[in-house]
Amino acid sequence: MFPEKIEKAFDLMEQAIQLLKGSLDTSFLDAYIENGENILDSYQVRVLDGVPDEQTVQQLEALYQQLQAIELTPEEIRRLSQLILLKGSKTEVLQANHQLTPDSIGFLFVYLIEQLFNSKQELKILDIASGMGNLLLTVLLNLNLADYQAQGIGVDIDDTLLAVSATNNEWTNAAIQLFHQDGLQDLLIEPVDIAISDLPIGYYPNDEKAQGFDSAAETGHSYAHHLLMEQAMKFVKPDGYGLFLVPSNILETEQSEFFKNWLQKNVYLQGMIQLPDELFKSEQSRKSILFVQNKGEASTQAEVLVAKLGSLKDPAKITQFFQQFEAWKSSNLK
């Protein structure tokens, strides 16, 4: 499935991270970040107050010497980092909102963006809740491979997740700017062409701040994923798009009336793509890609695309969806 060099690099990286985890007595993610920073510092082992000890430093230097000899493309580095993080998440359980967005979904986002924009356009892409950054990095690197000139902006409140993202972005030389802050607070961001996000699901605790949003609940805590989507689209240019991974029942919850209020006032709901059931453990955890467009001179309400992907493992079903989307696009989008 993966080239032999990635398997070898994976083994070397995992050994180095485990050495750092034990020597620094730290979490897997912190050891991952430390390892990444060593690699970025020309494969030099950082020693503070005698830690790691001399024996561990020698072991790490031997691993880094082998790792440095392996030539990896930016996309191969991203896949390597994802494999390491997935392995680490099995031993150090991450909360649901901190999990990596799977490649299969990331590549689907890439396809949709390629359908919505031609490669002659320079694209600015915002992820309002970027976490460890795998979705944004997947999109950016693969658009670059398809000859798009793309830049990314990632926002997240969790400094550890953002540090993981920063390490991977720098290692792959990705053009991504990161902001460490609550995505619902005031952001100093230039307008972007498209917003994407695997939105964290749950309630936003700051009711006073939430009341400034059209999608806020009238009483009690508002859904953070509603507010974050609304916030992201404020930074998208007129006629620009938003692609958001959301619960499949987003239009049927107890707060859906407030969310629909925002939809009707500010954007066009152009489509909802339900992801295959096979990706989710339960009916309650199923997700879809919600596809919205900012109102502007060049946009109108299209016939809403409602699609369900039967499988991401069956090429025939993927092709069937591609044909459905392209037929819908040619009939509905200017």
> How far is 39 from 20, CA to CA, in rounded Å?
13
Measured on CA atoms in the order 7, 13, 15, 21, is the torsion positive or negative? negative
Q: Could you report the average pLDDT of every consecutive run of 10 residues in the chain (334 residues)?
A: 83 95 92 95 91 93 95 94 89 67 90 90 94 95 94 95 96 96 92 96 92 91 95 97 94 92 94 88 84 94 92 89 94 84
In a 3-state reduction of DSSP, which class is residue 117? coil
Tell me the C-alpha distance between 230 and 20, whole Å. 41
pLDDT given for residue 282 in this prediction: 73
pLDDT of residue 94: 65
- The pLDDT, as a whole number, for residue 135 is 96
CB 138 within 8 A of CB 109: yes
SS3 237: strand
CA distance 101 to 104: 9
Which residues are CB-neighbours of 314 under 8 A, at least 6 positions away? none
Query: What's the CATH fold of domain 96-332?
Result: Rossmann fold (3.40.50)
Alpha-carbon span 305 to 241, nearest angstrom: 14
Q: Work out the number of other CB atoms within 10 angstroms of the CB of residue 71.
A: 8
Closest among 127, 171, 172, 131 to 152, alpha carbons compared: 127
Any idea where the domains of the chain sit in the sequence? 4-71, 96-332
Q: E-assigned strands of the chain?
A: 122-127, 149-156, 176-180, 192-198, 203-204, 222-223, 236-247, 267-274, 287-294, 305-308
Evaluated on CA atoms 142, 129, 168, 20, the torsion sign reads negative
Q: Angle, to 10 degrees, between the axis of helix 4-24 and the axis of helix 28-40?
A: 110
Distance separating the N- and C-terminal Cα atoms of the chain: 40
What count of other Cβ atoms lies within 10 Å of the Cβ of residue 186?
A: 7
CB 14 within 8 A of CB 87: yes
Give dist(CA 154, CA 169) in Å, integer: 11
Q: Within 13 Å, how many C-alpha atoms sit on residue 329's CB side?
A: 14
What does the alpha-carbon distance between residue 117 and residue 248 come to, in Å, rounded to a whole number? 26
Alpha carbons 189 and 247: distance in angstroms, whole number: 27
Architecture of the domain defined by 4-71: Orthogonal Bundle (1.10)
Residue 35: phi, psi to the nearest 5? Answer: -60, -45
- Contact indicator for 217, 198 with CB cutoff of 8 Å: no
Which residues, 6 or more positions from 284, have their beta carbon under 8 angstroms from its beta carbon?
A: none
What is residue 18's predicted lDDT score, i.e. its pLDDT?
94
**pLDDT score recorded for residue 89:** 81
User: Residue 288 belongs to what H/E stretch?
Assistant: strand 287-294
CA distance 5 to 74: 14
- Quote the pLDDT of residue 213: 93
